Amino acid sequence: MAFVSQFARRGLSTSSSLNAKIQEVIVIGGGLMGAGIAQVAAQTGHKVTLVDISQQVLDKSNARIGESIKRVAKKQFKDDADGAGKFIDSSLGNMNIATTANEALLTADLVLEAVVENMALKQKLFAEYDQIAPAKTIFASNTSSLPISEIASSSSRPDRFGGLHFFNPVPVMKLLEVVRIPETSDETFNAMVAWGKAMKKMTVDCKDTPGFIVNRLLVPYLMEAVRLVERGDASAKDVDLAMKLGAGHPMGPFELADYVGLDTNKFIMDGWSARFPDEPLFRQSEMLNKMVAENKLGKKTGEGFYKY
């Protein structure tokens, strides 16, 4: 009977409910990105449920979110202990954790997926949620490299589907890429933009192109730097120094690649080169493949292009 009532609610949804303000949010994936999105949503007055299949992951993320919110309060309310306390209580009061999204889906305005970059998993999740969520619910992915349109194909609501690409660490990074597919309705897109601004992010509009804006420019740039060194034209150290002093970049491409993770760079490039084999900017690098195979992934393993 529960599912019957859920479908009834979907069928009886009015046009006004479809255009309603995003207030109740579900974030799928309790890792650093998902937890960061959930934290910012909670501290900007949104009711948020952070979902992960692992209770241990949720407990760790919830504790980390609590400590981070306290640091934000200390910074924003330096001389106002009462204001800080109210901010902390309000933010934490907006946070919920769960190992399943089913209950929160019944009233959610937005479901934002932030799981690992696995197309089959993302499609499976949205296909399941599509059967439970009411008609008003917008679906969105935080993917940084996979096609939104392909993820959306698993649901029956392409008009209420889009991309919301945050940057890590979410509480610090101000940018949010808001991505639309051809089927995304204006109402859906405008609601996502409005929510991004309510999250106190600077939003940029983008179509569903590989890497959207930032990664579409950044990843080929990093790969061109790798190929430069691979050919023996310059050293990684000199390339980094040249880009910092000559282009005013805060980090050189190899410092940045090590920070992001060489496996992440390889994963994105592998996907793009498979989809667009004739695009020279998406060519794989033997040097990068070898380093990843040797577990030289950058800062997180202690060695990449530099040793840490």
Q: Would residue 144 show up in a list of annotated catalytic residues for this protein?
A: yes
Token output for 14: 């009015």
Length of the chain counted residue by residue? 308
Nearest to 266 by CA among 284, 253, 281: 284
Q: 161-166 and 138-141: which strand pairing?
A: parallel
Ramachandran bin of 129, using left for φ above 0, alpha for ψ from -120 to 50, beta for the remaining angles: alpha
Determine the Cα–Cα distance for residues 143 and 179; give it in Å rounded to an integer: 10
DSSP E strands in 40-174: the ranges are 47-51, 95-98, 110-113, 138-141, 161-166
Q: Would residue 62 show up in a list of annotated catalytic residues for this protein?
A: no
The catalytic residue among 155, 215, 265, 285 is: 215
The catalytic residue among 62, 94, 142, 144 is: 144
Whether the link from the prior residue into 169 is cis, omega within 30° of 0, is yes
Q: Would residue 177 show up in a list of annotated catalytic residues for this protein?
A: yes
The catalytic residue among 165, 185, 255, 285 is: 165
Ramachandran bin of 212, using left for φ above 0, alpha for ψ from -120 to 50, beta for the remaining angles: left
Instruction: Answer whether 266's CB lies under 8 Å from 289's CB.
Output: yes
Q: Would residue 249 show up in a list of annotated catalytic residues for this protein?
A: no
Determine the Cα–Cα distance for residues 178 and 183; give it in Å rounded to an integer: 14
Active site residues per annotation: 144, 165, 177, 215
